[in-house]
Structure 1
Amino acid sequence: MNLKYTLLVLAGISSLAAQAQTSQSTTTEAPAHRVAFAHASGSNHFISLAGGTGAMFLEGNNKPKFTDRLSWTAALSVGKWHTPYYATRLKFVGGETYTYNNLTGIRNDNYFAGGHYDFMLDVVNYFSAYNPDRLFHVLPYVGVGYEYKFGHTDKALPRTHAATANGGIQVSFHVAPRVNIFAEAEATYGFNIRKAYTPAYSNAFRVSAVAGLAFNIGKQGFTAVEPLDQAYIDGLQSQLNALRAENAELAKRPANCPDVVATPVATNDRFVADKSILFTQGKAVVSKDQLITVFDAAEFVKKGEGEVIITGYVAKNESRFKGLAEKRAKAVATLLTEKYGVAADKITVEWKEAGEAPYSAAQRGWDRVVIIRSK
């Protein structure tokens, strides 16, 4: 039986180690770029609509007044936030442009449609602690894409296809849980890949300014991942080594023991070792892999072998979670009474502050624990 429980504990420790590597907390004071974040699959998408104006530059386009070069432009974007500070989007653009002949000054009106893939960096979120309700954001971005120009008033000009490179900056204001108001300025340069304007026209460089609304769709939000510290890993390893050594000693026992006269065992000695129930960072829920320990303690009490004291602890880096040690101790007590049928008068519940660690500094990761002791 001891060998069985030892193996179960080994499996539990391995499972807990895997869980602890992704233990999460929704609060962190560090700048977002120094924190690892996790989010639900398919979450943090957005869609935006914008409209504004644009103008062509270079060569003949620079000769007329700037106001005479302005034309309308519109954009529809679909994107996703991969972290609180990094997003990508697919932006569909369209509108009208005016290009001027460098020799004659004649204006050609044409339409354009295209799309580009942008990489966006929220510099405010990058250098600040994660806050999903932050009001103000600044997002520089760059992208690549494709553009098609058609509908020329100068019928001699062909329809053109161009690869584009673009860059810009967006200023955004978070005005509601799922709504942002934004304005952005963008410059786009086109490289003809099929047909081209006559040399008299420069139709490559366009600057635009738009404003609009962005809507967050689906599930939103990120959680900060707190990875295991090295001391916790070392503590786990030392416990595993101790259990392996115990198994090695058990393996040396003979298959059949000689007949001996049974000696009554004192009640106070029956519950030989403290029972430790480990918890993930900031949590007070007993995980499934720890239930075998709670069951073992329940069997001890139900067989009339004594009473138990349940003591809850927290690690020093969990001091921000108020009452966590108490919640952990009461969670274990509730399991004993409600799940395993232990009488409440057989249980004493207590809890300790963060400074009253049950383990040494080398094993401080084990301080996220409830310990069951026999009276």
Structure 2
Amino acid sequence: MKKSLLTAVFAVASLGGAYAQSNGDVTTNADKYKVETNRFFDNWFFDINGGAQVYFGSKDAKKSFGKRLAPALDVSLGKWFTPGMALRFGYMGLQGKGAAINEKEAFTTGGSFVKNGVKYYDQKWDMMNLHAEVLFNLSNMFCGYNPDRIYSFIPYVGFAWLHAWESPKNNEFGASLGLINKFRVSPALDINIEARGTLLKSGFAGDKGNHGKDGMAALTVGLTYKFKQRNFNRGTVISTGISESEMRRIQNQLRDAQAYNNQLKDEISALRNRKPEVVYKEVAADDSRVIFFPIDKSDLTAKDLVTVKLMAESIKATDKNYTVQGYADQATGSKAYNLRLSEARANNVRDALIKEGVSASKLKAVGMGGVESVFGKENQLSRVVIIK
């Protein structure tokens, strides 16, 4: 019974070895849409842009567009969490310009002009725009991650808090929408052409009587510096390649192991229900002698060597010559492989008998290959060495 359990263990170990050998055949493929997540301090960047911005209030359209242009400076810090999405926080200034119909209105400078017979007064004020946005790199999202891509199309949305430094000091919240055209210069440096629009409640420029919406548009050009770590490592897809013949061999071993497991369960159940008995058997000197092997094995265990020692004493007591016949089951493995396995089993038993003092001239080892049946239809009973 213990020998049967040991055989089952070796059968399972043989299956594990087959899988380990198959899994050694591994291929790794890069996926341009998958990357590994980086640490928090990776993929940070710094933007500095300069250009012009224009305020759109209720009376500003009366003033020529060129005279409403004001200088703009935009400084931001952000992080790419994935190749397709980033968060950015920044400061934008410096001035706003517009027109008022009342000389006493906020931010008027003393200058004036006439439009369609109506007199308007120039406005100018110092301001800042603290903004936060979510950036979407659509080039990476739709075309796959490529750190060497020359041009990237990056729209964004966010919110802003605008503050006017001039008296009366005004504060307004707004919503931002924009587009970054990014051109790669080097691994660390990009050139940006950015268009931004900000929508806010009317009155930031001093026109408190208008309850509509005002806006501000900006166009800037600048640079982005990317701190290390700058790039993302590509994600990998690991696949194992198992040949069809190898897969069939593994399936046969699994079926055989399952059948043997069911047999062991039946044997255990029968032994539990059987009453103890003592069996005496007289073994003649010329009786056949057998040693069973686990699936795919030819080595002798410590228990097998005890059996060999007893066989050697019996063989040395006679003048007969013996044939050591090795077998394998034909249900698993190829014909050539089973022949080599049966020869290895026969030679190992012959060598062990010689070590126990049996004359080599009395022993002949023969491999019989894979056979359908030796002691019955069960495959495990065909993995055997018979000494005749």
**TM-score, reference length from structure 1:** 0.53
SS in 1 for 2:185: strand
Task: Find 1:113's aligned residue among 119, 129, 140.
Answer: 129
What are the Cα deviations for residues 187-244 of structure 1, in whole angstroms up to 9, with x where unaligned? Answer: 1112489998513698831111122222222331342544769x99x99999986665
Tell whether the 8 Å contact from 2:134 to 2:156 is kept in structure 1 after alignment: yes
The correspondence for 2:85, drawn from 84, 87, 91, is 87
> Structure 1 130/76 Cα, relative in aligned 2: closer, same or farther at 3 Å?
closer
Q: Does 1:146 align with 2:160?
A: yes
Corresponding letter in the other structure for 1:25: N
1:134 aligns with 2:149: yes
* Pairing partner for 1:159 from 170, 195, 203: 170
Distance 1:8 1:268 in 2: 20
Instruction: Indicate how the Cα distance of structure 1 residues 7 and 215 shifts in structure 2: closer, same or farther if over 3 A, else same.
Output: farther
SS of residue matched to 1:204: strand
User: Does the Cα contact within 8 Å between 1:197 and 1:203 map onto a contact in 2?
Assistant: no
Cα root mean square deviation, aligned: 4.7
How far is the alpha carbon of 1:78 from its aligned partner?
0.8
User: How many Å separate the matches in 2 of 1:227 and 1:167?
Assistant: 41
Contact 1:138 1:169 in 2 (8 A): yes
Is the alpha carbon distance of 1:172 and 1:10 closer, same or farther for their aligned partners in structure 2, counting shifts above 3 Å?
Answer: same
Aligned equivalent of 1:316: none
Distance between the aligned counterparts of 1:68 and 1:8, measured in 2?
81
Q: Give me the whole-angstrom Cα distance separating, in 1, the residues matched to 2:326 and 2:206.
A: 97
Equivalent residue number for residue 289 of structure 2? 261
Percent of pairs identical after alignment?
12
2:128 partner letter = F
Counterpart of 1:206? 216
1:38 and 2:35 are equivalent in the alignment: yes
**2:33/2:141 contact within 8 Å kept:** no
Distance 1:55 1:182 in 2: 19
Question: Which sections of structure 1, spanning at least 5 residues, go unmatched?
Answer: 29-34, 275-300, 306-375
Q: CA deviation at 1:170?
A: 1.6
| 1:176 CA displacement | 1.0
Q: 1:76 offset after TM fit, Å?
A: 1.1
What is the distance in 1 between the residues matched to 2:245 and 2:128? Answer: 64
Q: In the alignment, which residue of structure 1 is the partner of 2:309? A: none
In structure 1, the residue matched to 2:13 is: 5
Residues 101 and 201 in structure 1, CA contact (< 8 A), matched pair in contact too: no
Larger strand proportion of the pair = 2
- Given that 1:95 and 1:112 are in contact with CA atoms closer than 8 Å, whether structure 2 keeps it comes out as yes
1:194 and 1:116, CA in 2 relative to 1: closer, same or farther beyond 3 A?
same
User: Cα 1:239–1:69, aligned 2, differ >3 Å: closer, same or farther?
Assistant: farther
Matched residue pairs, number? 255
Aligned 1:304-323 pairs, distance under 5 A: none
- Residues 53 and 194 of structure 1: is their aligned pair in 2 closer, same or farther, counting only changes over 3 Å? closer
Note the C-alpha offset of 1:130.
Answer: 4.5
CA contact (8 A) 2:201 2:211 kept: no
Shift in Å at residue 38 of structure 1?
Answer: 1.9
Per-residue CA deviations over 1:231-264 (Å, capped at 9, x if unaligned) read: 99x9999998666534322312346999982355
TM-score scaled by length of structure 2: 0.52
Shift of 1:69: 1.9
Please state if 1:25 is matched with 2:29.
yes
In structure 1, what is the Cα distance between the partners aligned to 2:246 and 2:133?
Answer: 46
- Cα pair distance change 1:16/1:87, threshold 3 Å: farther
Q: CA deviation at 1:95?
A: 0.7
Distance 1:194 1:100 in 2: 11
Pairwise CA distance, 1:151: 1.1
Whole-angstrom CA distance in 2 between matches of 1:186 and 1:128: 25
- Give the distance between the partners of 1:195 and 1:10, measured in 2 at CA: 78
Report the secondary structure of 1:221's partner residue. Answer: coil
- 2:176–2:196 contact (8 Å) kept in structure 1: yes
Taking a change above 3 Å as real, the CA distance of residues 57 and 130 of structure 1, as seen in their structure-2 partners, is same
Alignment of 1:277-356 (within 5 A): none
Task: Say whether the 8 Å CA contact 2:51–2:221 is kept in structure 1.
Answer: yes
Q: Cα 1:268–1:243, aligned 2, differ >3 Å: closer, same or farther?
A: closer
Counterpart in the other structure of 2:380: none
Residue aligning to 1:50: 49
CA distance in 2, matches of 1:16, 1:207: 60
Whether contact under 8 Å (2:52, 2:69) holds in the other structure is: yes
Moved more, 191-200 or 206-215: 191-200
Q: Distance in 2 between matches of 1:238 and 1:59?
A: 81
Name 2:95's counterpart in structure 1.
Answer: 97
**Aligned partner (choices 142, 159, 181) of residue 191 of structure 2:** 181
Aligned residues of 1:78 and 1:89 also touching (Cα < 8 A)? yes
- List alignment gaps of at least 5 residues for structure 2: 1-8, 103-120, 272-278, 282-287, 292-323, 335-343, 349-388
Deviation, 1:90, is 1.4
Distance change (3 Å), C-alpha of 1:209 and 1:235:
farther
Distance of aligned partners of 1:40 and 1:194 in 2 relative to their CA distance in 1, 3 Å threshold: same
Match of 2:381 in 1: none
